[in-house]
Structure 1
Amino acid sequence: MRWILLSLLFCGASNASTCIVTEEQAFLWNEKYQSLFTVNTDYFDGSYSVEILIPNKIEDREYKNSALFIDSLEEPSLFMPAEAFERDEGKVVWYTVGNELVRKHFFVFSYGGGCGISVTVPVIFN
């Protein structure tokens, strides 16, 4: 029994890393890469259809994930991961929202593993 307990102590391994992105770094990424994203909004019958065309890679870093934030990035009233779908011209993320829920909407797109690149894209409703 002792050997089992002793082996459990030595077999466990831990690997942790922390990635802290400064406001300055986030600003620089947004300035540099927001132009790679195309946001299209169409209003029809009381709701908006939002489509965002996104690049497959940024600086040789593969697309990892995306999420929708409503109202603010720090304290969103809604946070929702979003799936990207393949298209001929790249990937696309889309959703539909009722007119009564139109507020500040932001998408955050992540590229690369670990401390990769994150780009925040605002959704502008016409």
Structure 2
Amino acid sequence: MVDLSQYLPILIFLGIALLLSGAFVALPILVSRLTGADKPNAEKLSEYECGFPAFEDSRSQYDVRFYLVAILFIVFDLEAAFLYPWAVSVFDLGWTAWISMMIFIGELALGLVYAWKMGALDWE
């Protein structure tokens, strides 16, 4: 038979976590209703990020180039994330690690050249 008393601290922790997360959601809503901060008007519903009304519908489709640039940024940002730990420990790892990283950088350079030639980095 399994002793369920071992799970009591976990259940207490989960109960406190649920209580606190519920409080973090419910208390601001309750306070805004009590203080009158939830009453919308023209000033509260106006644009606040750029300071002027939008020229067109905010649900219009974005150009696919935004996504291409984002994906290319993520790929080359991950390259930097792999290079830093490798650079710290390259002398301990030996020639095999150096050669494999050069192959990795070469593949990424070929990918960059390919993206450049295909026009993924051109902006009109």
TM-score of the aligned structures, taking structure 2 as reference length: 0.22
Larger fraction in helix: 2
Greater C-alpha Rg: 2
Greater RCO between the two (CA within 8 Å, min separation 6)?
1
Larger strand proportion of the pair? 1
